[in-house]
Amino acid sequence: MTGTVTLVGAGCGDFDLITLRGREALSGCDTVIYDSLIDMRLLEFCPDAEKICVGKRAGRHSAAQEEINALLVEKALSGRNVVRLKGGDPFVFGRGGEEILTLSERGIPFSIVPGVTSCVAVPELAGIPVTHRRSARSFHVITGHTADSCTPESLEKYAGIGGTLVFLMGLNSLDGIAHGLISGGMSGDTPAAVISQGATIRQRTVRAPLSEIAEKAGAAELPSPAVIVVGETAGFDFSPTYAPPLAGVSIAVISSPETGRKLAKALCRLGAYAFRAGGMDIRELHTEAIDKALSRLGEYTHIALTSPNGARIFLKKLRAKRIDLRSLTSAFAVVGKGTAAVLEQNGIFPELIPEEYNTAALGRLLCDRLGEADRLLIMRSADGSRELTPALDSAGITYDDVRIYEPESPGGAPVDSDLAVFTSAGAVRSFFGSGGSLGYGTAPVAIGKITAGELEKHGFTGCIIPEESSTDGIINTILGAVKCRDSDV
């Protein structure tokens, strides 16, 4: 059966400029074929999809486009639901039309999801309106280079067209664009602006008269991609006067997938550029010990869960065994608020939570509350802390320590951000053990003392540690640290 292809505009810059329809298409696709300039966080919306990068480079456009067309056809004819994820909007210099012609020729069903285009959004986020009453009643979008020349043709015509001129992909041609417009009769005093890496945390804007804009942009060493705006509206500066508390802060989250996505999402809502950077994946275990423990749940007076991942997998196993939550008679003990929240979402309210959210404190609490008549079931990671069971042994508590999942390393990579958050000691081991590294200016944040201790083994001392070992504690600590930094500037 032939599959389908959906051309999705990823929007420009940050991942959250994609449309709801675009996100929905990503979440339901089997294969995503994406450009190199998209925000990689968009791929979090399709975690199980096959991911293929087809980033194009100057000088290879025709050959690369033919390869992309062939790939779209191949994947669709194999029955896959394909998303072609393109920066900005598919039809604004995105060559989406060429891809659709190929799909049409092969009889492959397709649909289109528009995207937020940089020709409007990037100037807007830099405080430049592309139209403004009495200043510009039209705007014109022009490619900054052509297949045959580095400089657009007919610049003298654009010079006299009026309104606002917006050039995309024209940074390397900026000097020629400025000279061409002036030669065509446009005043050298016309306001102009270059916005580099627009709609991202790295956005920079240079403003100057048209006659000076190339020199000023060159001196600023602005990198691509960039949007060039020429016209009276480029003289306005309607830059936002409010910024969220973590605006401009980049934060790598090294964690398991579920916790990492939750934390990154919360940090992004506060304005940070937050992203998952490896850490560890989770593999659920299936063993006789697990089956035996679940078949004898009624014999345990207490069940201890030491992480949100453990709580999620425990609940998943109950569903798989069709065990009714209402039949559970055990009291639950959890390591902290995050683990408790997973249970509470399913109607289970833990009775025991230590004041300090770590395994050692949980062990002390269990030793305090359990007696000889009690029997404890611990369900946790195969890489769980060794601090729990020695305390239970010393107190003579009867327990079964059952491993229900194990961490897997997805591979580490260099991280060069303002902060790097580690949510467990296992995430530290996985990250550095698989080749991960932190840049010189990256400050590590550890969820607790055990995680900080693991970071020390890799040469990182003086980590930022929240008072409360939870994702909320991490967020509050980062907010406080950024506020102190800003007040010192």
CA dist list (Å): 313 to 265, 327, 375: 22, 18, 21
Cβ-proximal residues to 207 (8 Å cutoff; 6+ apart), any chain: 191, 192, 193, 216, 234, 237
What angle, rounded to 10 degrees, do the helices at 174-183 and 213-220 form?
170
- Out of 30, 35, 401, 416, the active site residue is 35
Distance CA 108, CA 339 (A): 47
Distance CA 367, CA 354 (A): 12
Distance CA 201, CA 242 (A): 15
Q: Which of 220, 139, 210, 221 is nearest to 181 (CA)?
A: 210
Cα 57 to chain center, whole Å?
A: 24
What angle, rounded to 10 degrees, do the helices at 61-77 and 96-105 form?
40
- Out of 39, 75, 86, 169, the active site residue is 169
Is residue 169 flagged as an active site residue? yes
In the 8-state DSSP scheme, what is residue 169?
Answer: S
**CA angle at 239 for the pair 236 and 245, rounded to the nearest 5°:** 175
Which residue, chain included where needed, has tokens 């950077």?
Answer: 277
Task: Name the E strands within 35-148.
Answer: 50-53, 81-86, 110-113, 139-143
- Out of 16, 30, 56, 416, the active site residue is 56
Q: Contact 139/163 with Cβ under 8 angstroms?
A: yes
DSSP H/E element including 73 = helix 61-77
* Amino acid making up residue 6: T
Which residue, chain included where needed, has tokens 């530290």?
Answer: 428
Is residue 280 flagged as an active site residue? no
β-sheet with 204-209: strand ranges across: 139-143, 164-168, 226-230, 191-196, 204-209
> HSE-up of 290 (CA within 13 Å, CB side)?
20
Is residue 374 flagged as an active site residue? no
In this structure, what are the phi and psi dihedrals at residue 127, rounded to the nearest 5 degrees? 85, 15
Q: Which of 335, 319, 316, 324 is nearest to 298 (CA)?
A: 324
> Which residues are tagged catalytic?
35, 56, 169
